[in-house]
Amino acid sequence: MSATARKQPAAKRSAGKKDLVLGLGATGLSVARYLARNDVDAIYVDSRDEPPGINDLKEICPDAEVVLGDAPQKLLKGASRIIVSPGIADSDSFLAAARKKGIDVVSDIELFVAEAKAPFVAVTGSNGKSTVTTLLALMCDAAGKKGLAGANLGVPALDLLLEDQPDFYLLELSSFQLQRTQNLPAKVAVLLNISPDHLDWHADEAEYREAKYRVFDQAEAAVFNRADEEINEHLPKNLPTLSFALDEPQDGEFGLREDEGEVFLARGEQLLLSVRDIALVGMHNQANCLAALAAGQLMGLGLSPMLQVLNEFPGLPHRMQTAGWSGNVQFINDSKATNVGAAIASIESVAGAVVLIAGGQGKGGDFDRLATSTCGKLRAAILIGEDAPQLEEAFKDLTPTERADDMLSAVRRAAEIADSGDTVLLAPACASFDQYPNYQARGEDFVRVVEALTI
């Protein structure tokens, strides 16, 4: 990583002006800790009257100026740059006014890049990025390397800098973070897939895709999904790459091969591991495993420890997690399937018929695509949350639907509808914020209800 890239954010602060941190929560607090460590004064702004983390902020920066509620635009006169939490959309009127005045709007990742001394791997995609980032961290550990994982997953990126320097930082990056990051010289950039998502945040699908493609711009090497031809077209010339997909791989590529009726993860002609020996569930997770192997190879990790991790790691909570059984009906929690593409992948990865529980805040997702892509697999769909009416309309004449007021009634009704051998699958295709603080709380509620049902 160049010295120029590390110093740029600090150099852009104007004399006599302060940084303005927009949005508290986990990311905002990590920014506060970072600025406090570097003796940088800032103004902290949040549109909420009682934002989460306000008491923590007072402990971190007791003398900092804090503005809650509607932010007056006069604050922009004294702002050198604005460091924005990822959940705040670019269409926010305060940010629009800042850009008109030529004020830089940056992400916490921009600050991280300026300080990180170890190489980092940047993992993005519409689906699977948390799983792949976690796999890479476990693969580092199995190979005797120290890998610290965070950013959009778990620990905010700036808080990773509080730890002893690792061999690799492993960053899960959202489209929000990528859109606001100018300097991203990743050792390895990984783009898993792209399906329409966050269209309530981005202007359109084209802007969303362009944000994802930014991960390649300054990378030393890249891993990409060759099944998406559009991704291939956006790779910079002369960038070393490795590809993966669920087809037969050519020499040097990662994919699937069949041998004597058994399917294997493969590198070119080399058979690596039978898919029966992978602890993760579903074909989409086979793709995640292949992507992790490709990235690990570019990182210089040994093949044997990487395969050991694939054999042992059962997956993250709320991602195709078995919640229980009732008779011969399996209940699977995939609350992290917060967009249409993820929900389709979840449904397609399940053997047999599915009773789907879906709904929440749709984020502009294409529910018609969800309905037409999965109707052959669904016995019924139980719909919850704010956008249940839109889902109901999409599934009309394709799949039987019922509405439920809450998770308890949804699970009970799904259990009544399911036949022996079916799967009741929570794959909401929506965000959770209409009913829950986050997707984790939604998944935990599902698991609690299932456990009570199956005792």
Query: For 147-189, how does the pLDDT look when each residue is reduced to its tens digit (9 = 90+)?
Result: 999 998 889 999 999 999 999 999 999 888 998 899 999 999 9
Cα separation, 390 vs 382, in Å, equals 13
Looking at 74, 106, 138, the residue that finishes a domain is 106
Share the mean pLDDT of the chain.
Answer: 91
Residue 420 near residue 328 (C-beta atoms within 8 A): yes
Q: Residues 24-35, buried b or exposed e (16+ Cβ, 10 A)?
A: bbbbbbbbbbbb
Residue 265 near residue 254 (C-beta atoms within 8 A): yes
Amino acid 15: pLDDT:
57
User: Residues 393, 415: one domain?
Assistant: yes
Q: What is the CATH number of the domain that holds 100?
A: 3.40.50.720
Amino acid in the structure at residue 78: G
Amino acid 453: pLDDT:
87
Q: Is the pLDDT of residue 42 over 90?
A: yes
Amino acid 14: pLDDT:
53
Q: What is the pLDDT of residues 359-415, one digit of tens each?
A: 999 988 899 999 999 999 999 999 999 999 999 999 999 999 999 999 999 999 999
The more confidently predicted of residues 300 and 341 is 300
Amino acid 8: pLDDT:
40
Query: Is 198 assigned a catalytic role?
Result: yes
User: Residues 123, 81: one domain?
Assistant: no
Amino acid 331: pLDDT:
94
Q: Is the pLDDT of residue 289 over 90?
A: yes
Cα separation, 361 vs 428, in Å, equals 9
User: Residues 293, 393: one domain?
Assistant: no
Query: Is 129 assigned a catalytic role?
Result: yes
Amino acid 16: pLDDT:
65
Q: Is the pLDDT of residue 120 over 50?
A: yes
User: Residues 331, 427: one domain?
Assistant: yes
Residue 299 burial by Cβ neighbours in a 10 Å radius (0-12, 13-18, 19+)? buried
Amino acid 201: pLDDT:
53
Query: Is 152 assigned a catalytic role?
Result: yes
- Rounded to an integer, the average pLDDT of 5-16 is 46
Residue 57 near residue 29 (C-beta atoms within 8 A): yes
Task: Name 390's bridge partners.
Answer: none
| Structural domains counted in the chain | 3
Q: What is the CATH number of the domain that holds 233?
A: 3.40.1190.10
Amino acid 170: pLDDT:
98
- How is residue 71 annotated by DSSP? P
φ, ψ of residue 105 in degrees (nearest 5): -115, 115
User: Residues 31, 146: one domain?
Assistant: no
Amino acid 199: pLDDT:
53
- How is residue 350 annotated by DSSP? S
User: Residues 146, 281: one domain?
Assistant: yes
For 195, the token pair is 């399906």
* SS3 assignment, position 109: helix
Amino acid 3: pLDDT:
35
User: Residues 375, 348: one domain?
Assistant: yes
Cα separation, 455 vs 441, in Å, equals 21
User: Residues 61, 203: one domain?
Assistant: no
Domain that holds residue 257: 112-312
Q: Is the pLDDT of residue 243 over 80?
A: yes
Amino acid 6: pLDDT:
38
**Band (145; pLDDT cuts 50, 70, 90):** very high
User: Residues 236, 349: one domain?
Assistant: no
For 416, the token pair is 């009544």
Residue 402 near residue 411 (C-beta atoms within 8 A): no
Q: Is the pLDDT of residue 434 over 60?
A: yes
The more confidently predicted of residues 365 and 219 is 219
Residue 356: closest CA among 328, 378, 374: 378
Give me the percent of the chain exceeding a pLDDT of 70: 95
Torsion of CA 298, 302, 307, 313, to 10 degrees: -80
Q: What is the pLDDT of residues 344-361, one digit of tens each?
A: 988 988 889 999 999 999
Q: Which of 18, 198, 234, 363 is catalytic?
A: 198
Residue 267: closest CA among 239, 291, 300: 291
Torsion of CA 398, 404, 405, 410, to 10 degrees: -130
Cα separation, 185 vs 114, in Å, equals 10
User: Residues 55, 7: one domain?
Assistant: yes
Q: Which of 129, 187, 212, 284 is catalytic?
A: 129
* SS3 assignment, position 258: strand
| DSSP states along 347-401 | HHHSSS-EEEEEESB-TT--HHHHHHHHTTTEEEEEEESTTHHHHHHHHTTTS-E
**Band (203; pLDDT cuts 50, 70, 90):** low
Amino acid 195: pLDDT:
75
- Rounded to an integer, the average pLDDT of 208-218 is 92
Residue 406: closest CA among 432, 377, 380, 370: 432
Q: What is the CATH number of the domain that holds 345?
A: 3.90.190.20
How many other CB atoms are found less than 10 A from the CB of residue 120? 26
User: Residues 70, 117: one domain?
Assistant: no
Q: What is the pLDDT of residues 66-112, one digit of tens each?
A: 999 988 889 999 999 999 998 888 888 899 999 999 999 999 999 99
Amino acid 283: pLDDT:
86
SS3 content of the chain, % helix, strand, coil (to 5): 40, 20, 40
- Rounded to an integer, the average pLDDT of 326-342 is 91
Residue 116 near residue 171 (C-beta atoms within 8 A): no
